Chain A
Amino acid sequence: MKEGRPRSFYVLAIFFAAYTLFLYGPMIAIYVLSFQGPQGGLTFPMNGVSTFWIAKLFQGTGIVDLGAAFRRSLLLGIIVMIVTVVLSVAAGMAFRRKFKAQSILFYSAIASLIVPSIITSLGISLEFRIIDDLIKGTINENFETSMGLLTSGLGAHLTWTLPFGLLIMFAIFNRFDPRLEEAARDLGATPWQAFRHVVLPIILPSVIGIGLFGFTLSWDELARSSQAIGAVNTLPLDLQGLTTTVTNPDIYALGTVISVVSFTVIALALGTIHMLNKRQAAKGSDAGKGLV
């Protein structure tokens, strides 16, 4: 098309730019404010520039035990990421054939995505309370609780990340050419070899995308954790607790630290995806090389 861009392009481009500013502007404001001087308050103008509030967080003299919550959230995030990737890829493979419980699994995933988080969270907490009561009544009177970060907390996070993982797998296999796999099988590959050497390398960039969703959604999860995490808090829960009491910029410093982790993970994942895509484009054709 040689014609110039229509006027609507410029109107919508400005609209889009305004939306982007709306998305990022406030976030950038708190990143800047977390470098407030020691006397600085919660709002602009900046009262000097320092790393006082960030340093205060790491000294542990601040409001929360940041280190412990940080490690808990990181551990949970990594486990959620691994489980989400493995279960989503497996289930995604299953959906390429017809099987009996197909629509039950599909609707469970969709329902899990859209049933309000507070209801899922409450349900998990009730479930574990009832299990606890059963154990106390039958096996061990002094039993404390089975609720915790890696039991009820992990489950709660998975109900949020797995639907995303499954939907991404659907998107992948919508575009996937099944003949590639058939060709591998025809050349004598076992189903596992076909998956390992043909299917997996092709879908790997998107699988990393699933991992990215798994980690970041867990790292920032709040609503489902709220009732189901047990006695200890994750980082976002601590942060939320602070919003009602805090009067110092340490809340911004904490926000900045959490965001640094998010952005690092996003950058790592996107970088890896980009690299894999480039490698696929370069080495995509392995004509004459045979199966490794």
Chain B
Amino acid sequence: MDTSEDILQQASPDLVRGSETARRSKAARLSPSFISWLQAGPMMLVFLAFFLIPLVFVVIVSFWDYNEYQLLPAFSGRGYTDTFEGCIAQLPDLCTIAKTYLKTLKLCFLVWIITLFIGFWVAYFLAFHVKSKTWQMGLSLLCTIPFWTSNVIRMIAWIPLLGRNGLVNSGLVKTGLINHPVEWLLFSEFSVVLALVHLFTFFMVVPIFNSMVRIDKSLIEAAYDAGATGFQTLVNVIIPLAKPGIVIGSIFVITIVMGDFITIGVMGGQQIAAAGKIIETRVNALQFPAAAANAVILLVITFLIITMMSRIVDIKKEL
């Protein structure tokens, strides 16, 4: 930055040290740790009141009893037993909750693979092929702007394209590829996955791009000089160095899809069961303990996935 400061520091280090003590005596009235509390306290309070305590209530209420119209604050495992109803009796067939979670995991896996593929190459293009900083900024912004607009609108946007009389169907009929419009384009698992990819690839692009721009370009040149092919450089240099971004992006995408109920609801025509959807259904039926029990199950599974993934990388170090 400013070299005069460097010179000053080198020439008379005592001056800087002196200012340190001067500052300390001045701030003595308010201790630094008190100031830190003032600064960070409000945010901590918000998380306490609207995130941590609510989570505790979810766990507590999941062990309460309920009837048709109200919560009964007495210990009961009914929320859980109702949820796992038939899981043992129906063996070897799968019970509803197991089927639902399998379906959710399947959607999750599909979305993860696709967003990872798209996100990786988009980030790769931005980080390694776009040389000018201005272009890099502009194109990153182009990817970010949709993130600042409404998710529901971006879902609805598929209706005129994928509907029974939508652009895709009429196009296919016109070219003679199909005789009748296909039904599975909209309100199906296909449209759910498509919309999730459309909405959330952004969460993959940003962390991977962040990891990639930090890669020292001379490492890639070194690999090239040592005779590595482009593919070898990719597999042995770039992917290992981009791994933190890949893991963070994956955590985002997987947790979003695991808990999603809106995209699956809107794009699945409210017909597809999913982990988040069960919670919503239970809440709408005013069965709060059952909803809370499902939330706890979802939380545990999400937590397990994150722990597994964060074994691979230290998240705190990467941010």
List A residues at the B interface (Cβ < 8 Å).
5-6, 8-9, 12-13, 15-16, 19-20, 22-27, 29-30, 33, 41-44, 86-88, 90-91, 93-95, 97, 99-106, 108-112, 114-120, 122-127, 129-130, 152, 155-156, 158-159, 162, 166-167, 170, 177, 179-180, 182-183, 185-186, 190-191, 212-213, 216-217, 219-220, 222-223, 226-227, 236, 239-240, 243-244, 251-252, 255, 258-259, 262-263, 265-266, 270
CA of A8 to CA of B149 in the docked complex: distance in angstroms?
32
B142: Cβ under 8 A from any A Cβ: yes
**Which one, A43, A252, A270, contacts B156 given CB within 8 A?**
A252
CA of A93 to CA of B121 in the docked complex: distance in angstroms?
35
Beta-carbon contacts under 8 Å, B178-225 to A = 198, 201
Knowing A15-B121, A105-B40, A122-B291, the reply to whether A26 touches B148 (Cβ < 8 A) is no
In the complex, 28 of the A-B residue pairs with CB atoms within 8 angstroms, ordered by the A residue number, are A8-B129, A12-B125, A15-B121, A15-B122, A24-B146, A26-B161, A26-B198, A33-B160, A41-B165, A42-B159, A91-B42, A91-B43, A99-B36, A103-B316, A109-B47, A115-B299, A117-B259, A118-B276, A122-B58, A123-B57, A126-B57, A159-B46, A159-B47, A186-B16, A213-B148, A240-B262, A243-B155, A252-B160
Q: When each residue 28-49 of chain B gets 1 if its CB lies under 8 Å from chain A and 0 otherwise, what string results?
A: 0000110111111011101111
Beta-carbon contacts under 8 Å, B121-167 to A = 121-122, 124-126, 129, 139, 141-143, 145-146, 148-161, 163, 165-167
The residue on A at minimum CB distance from B5 is: A179
**Which one, A42, A120, A223, A252, contacts B51 given CB within 8 A?**
A120
B136 CB to closest chain A CB (Å) equals 12
A94 contacts B54, CB within 8 Å? Answer: no
CA of A126 to CA of B60 in the docked complex: distance in angstroms?
10
CA of A176 to CA of B142 in the docked complex: distance in angstroms?
26
The residue on A at minimum CB distance from B37 is: A99
The residue on B at minimum CB distance from A16 is: B125
Sort chain B's interface into a size bin: 35 or more
CA of A11 to CA of B285 in the docked complex: distance in angstroms?
51
A126 contacts B61, CB within 8 Å? Answer: yes
B247: Cβ under 8 A from any A Cβ: no
**Which one, A120, A170, A263, contacts B149 given CB within 8 A?**
A263
The residue on A at minimum CB distance from B142 is: A20
Count of CB-CB pairs between chains A and B under 8 Å? 278
A287 CB to closest chain B CB (Å) equals 9
B55: Cβ under 8 A from any A Cβ: yes
| A94: chain B residues within 8 A (beta carbon) | 35-37, 39-40
| A86: chain B residues within 8 A (beta carbon) | 42
B153 contacts A119, CB within 8 Å? Answer: no
New A-B contacts (9) at CB < 8 Å, excluding given A101-B37, A126-B57: A41-B165, A43-B159, A99-B36, A102-B40, A108-B44, A126-B292, A223-B259, A251-B156, A255-B156
B1 contacts A180, CB within 8 Å? Answer: yes
B113: Cβ under 8 A from any A Cβ: no
Closest 7 CB pairs of A and B: A116-B259, A123-B54, A155-B50, A26-B157, A99-B36, A94-B39, A94-B40
Knowing A42-B160, A222-B262, the reply to whether A158 touches B55 (Cβ < 8 A) is no
B152 contacts A243, CB within 8 Å? Answer: yes
Chain A CB within 10 Å, residue with most, of B37, B118, B150, B319: B150
B32 contacts A97, CB within 8 Å? Answer: yes
B63: Cβ under 8 A from any A Cβ: no
A141 CB to closest chain B CB (Å) equals 16
Knowing A99-B33, A124-B54, A259-B150, the reply to whether A91 touches B47 (Cβ < 8 A) is no
Chain B CB within 10 Å, residue with most, of A41, A115, A158: A115
CA of A130 to CA of B279 in the docked complex: distance in angstroms?
19
CA of A114 to CA of B155 in the docked complex: distance in angstroms?
21
Knowing A123-B58, A270-B141, the reply to whether A212 touches B299 (Cβ < 8 A) is no
Beta-carbon contacts under 8 Å, B237-270 to A = 251-252, 255-256, 258-262, 266, 270
B112: Cβ under 8 A from any A Cβ: no
B75 CB to closest chain A CB (Å) equals 16
